[in-house]
Amino acid sequence: MEFNRWFIIGAILILMVFESAAAGRVIFDFHLNTDLHNESTHHRLCKDLGYDGLAILSAPEAYAYALKITNHSRKVYGSGAYIGAHYRPEAGIVLWDDDTVPRSDTPFYSSPAPTDPNTPCSLLDIYNKIWMSSGVNPKLGLCGNHKIQITESIGVILPGELQASSKAVLSVSQASRHLQCVLRCSMILECRAAQFNSDLLTCTVIGEYTPPAGSSFPVSNQIFTYVRVTF
């Protein structure tokens, strides 16, 4: 009965997420400029439209939404779309325009992102990868606001403990139910999974992890894991 109860809750949660998406509700405020311009022109146009600048795709859900709203235009124009990540020579790394560091699972064409002063700009290409670019060539541009608090995520609830050869535990806190654990994960960009222990009433928020070579997810009556969608 316990397994069935959590399976039903997980199914309802997933259904709610997809129903909200089908109804046209969006988490991220993005706008696609379909006129082809260089990167600096797109940045200015985004500002003129009232956006903070080019879109930041630091969350898996932001990346998925960006793919969805740019997919048709990227294929029709055969063009990538400029987004808001730049090489910062003073730091020697690529940062999002809100000064956050891209997670290692961010879908750059090569990882880590190239740190070449000649390619300081970023774009989402027609193959759904993020490239560093000179910013000179005319492309599409994706605008976005940078200070958006994420309160929703997409994932699946599984009965059992996440098995990983390595994983980053971001926090451990008290929780009375599994859905509280899901909400905590949803509000943390770095979260990739969250485990609820029904005996200890604890919520463990997990960052990046390395899954085992084989599928290993032993069923448990005490531990339930929310696995967030990845890039």
pLDDT digits (tens, 9 = 90+) for 110-130: 878 889 999 999 999 999 999
137 shares a domain with 40:
yes
197 shares a domain with 94:
no
pTM reported for the whole predicted model: 0.74
69 shares a domain with 122:
yes
Q: In terms of residue numbers, what domain contains 161? A: 2-22+150-228
Q: C-alpha distances in angstroms, 127 versus 47, 80, 108?
A: 27, 9, 11
185-228 per-position pLDDT tens digit: 988 888 999 999 999 999 999 998 877 665 556 667 889 999 98
13-56 per-position pLDDT tens digit: 443 333 333 334 446 889 999 999 999 999 999 999 999 999 99
* CATH assignment at residue 67: 3.10.100.10
**What's the mean pLDDT in 127-140?**
97
Strands 139-144 and 81-83: parallel
Whether 87 shows a pLDDT value over 70: the answer reads yes
DSSP string, 124-154: E-TTS-EEEE-S-S-EEEEEE-S--------
Whether 69 shows a pLDDT value over 60: the answer reads yes
CA distance 208 to 194: 11
**pLDDT attached to residue 21:** 38
pLDDT band, very low/low/confident/very high, at 63 (cuts 50, 70, 90): very high
63 shares a domain with 12:
no
Kindly state the greatest CA–CA separation across the chain: 60
Domain count, the chain: 2
**pLDDT attached to residue 209:** 82
| Burial class (CB within 10 angstroms; exposed 0-12, middle 13-18, buried 19+) of 189 | middle
* 170/161: higher pLDDT: 170
- State which amino acid sits at residue 55: A
CA distance 197 to 121: 44
99 shares a domain with 158:
no
106 shares a domain with 154:
no
CA distance 153 to 27: 9
Q: Are 229 and 63 in contact (CB under 8 A)?
A: no
- CB atoms inside a 10 Å sphere around CB 11: 12
